[in-house]
Amino acid sequence: DIQMTQSPSSLSASVGDRVTITCQASQDISNYLNWYQQKPGKAPKLLIYDASNLDTGVPSRFSGGGSGTDFTFTISSLQPEDIATYYCQQYDNLRPLFTFGPGTKVDIK
Amino acid sequence: QVQLVESGGGVVQPGRSLRLSCAASGFTFSSFAMHWVRQAPGKGPEWVAAISHDGSNQYFPDSLRGRFTISRDNSKNTLFLHMNSLRAEDTAVYYCAKPANYGDEYIQLWGQGTLVTVSS
C-alpha cells in the first residue's frame, strides 16, 4: 500500500506569514491528492482536490501543487481562523483505497 | 442543506459487535456513493469503507475486510456500518461522509461523528 508522509508535523507562524506544508507519497500517485483542514473538535473539511483545485467556497489564500510523489500545500497569508491540523490524502480509484497523511498542526506564534 | 447525522456509538466490550447508522438529508441520497471514515484519539483520519450508490458494491481496506460491512437503505436515506469482533484499536470517532458532486473519490462533506469506545 502507498504510504503518505508530511512535514513538518507542526509549525508556528505569525499572522500574515506564508506557510508551506509538504506531503510525500511512497510511489507515484499522479495528481490523486487531496488536502483537508480539521479544526479542534470538528470534522475534516475538503480544501483542495486533485493536488491543485480549490473546493467550492475555499479562500484563495489556500493553494496546492505537485504531482507524482511530491506535493505542497500553501497558505499565502496566515489568518487566525486557519489554526487547524492539515492532512493530505491520496486515493487509488482502481481498488479503491484512500490513505491520509499523519497531519501538520498549524498554530499562531 | 446537506446533513449527515451519525448514531449508534457507545462503549462496547472487546469481541462484541456494533452497528452505526447515518441519517442523510438535503441531497438525493440514492445518487451518491457513501463513505465511512474513522479517527482514533490524537490520530489522523482512516478510511473505513465505501458503498456504491445502489449498494451493489462495497469497498474496504485490507485491514478491515471481513470484520466490517457497509450497507444502505435508500428508501430511508440511511447508511450503516456493521462492526464485528471489535478490538481496542477500533476505538475512534466514526464519520459518515458524502462525496463531492464531481466525483465519488472526493470525500467532501462529513457528519459530526459518533464515538465508539472498545473497552472491558
Is residue A100 within 8 A of residue A6, CB to CB? The reply is no
Q: How far apart are CA B103 and CA B85, in angstroms?
A: 33
pLDDT digits (tens, 9 = 90+) for B44-88: 999 999 999 999 999 999 999 899 999 999 999 999 999 999 999
Candidates B1, B22, B35, B47, partner chain A, best to mutate (most A CBs within 10 A): B47
pLDDT digits (tens, 9 = 90+) for B1-20: 999 999 999 999 999 999 99
Chain A CB contacts of B107 below 8 Å: 34, 46, 89, 98
Name residues whose C-beta falls within 8 Å of residue A97's C-beta, 6 or more positions apart in sequence.
A1, A2, A91, B47, B59, B61
Is residue A58 within 8 A of residue A48, CB to CB? The reply is yes
Percent of chain A past pLDDT 70, that is, above it, reads 100
CA–CA min distance B13, chain A (Å): 25
**Confidence bin at B105 (pLDDT 50/70/90):** confident
Q: How far apart are CA A15 and CA B8, in angstroms?
A: 41
Is residue A61 within 8 A of residue A37, CB to CB? The reply is no
**pLDDT higher at A104 or B65:** A104
Residue A28 has pLDDT above 90, yes or no: yes
**A96 part of contact set with chain B, CB < 8 Å:** yes
How confident is the model at residue A47, as a pLDDT?
Answer: 97
Name the closest residue on chain A to residue B58, using Cα atoms: A96
**B99 part of contact set with chain A, CB < 8 Å:** no
Q: What is the average pLDDT across B83-104?
A: 95
**B92 part of contact set with chain A, CB < 8 Å:** no
CA–CA min distance A107, chain B (Å): 16
For chain B, strand residue ranges (E) read 3-7, 10-12, 18-25, 34-39, 45-51, 58-59, 68-73, 78-83, 92-100, 103-110, 114-118
How confident is the model at residue B97, as a pLDDT?
Answer: 97
Is residue B24 within 8 A of residue B110, CB to CB? The reply is no
Q: How far apart are CA B81 and CA B26, in angstroms?
A: 21
Q: Which three cell numbers stand for residue B112?
A: 459530526
CA–CA min distance A13, chain B (Å): 22
Name the closest residue on chain A to residue B57, using Cα atoms: A96
B71-75, Cβ contacts within 8 angstroms, sequence gap of 24 or more: B72/B29, B72/B34, B74/B29, B74/B30
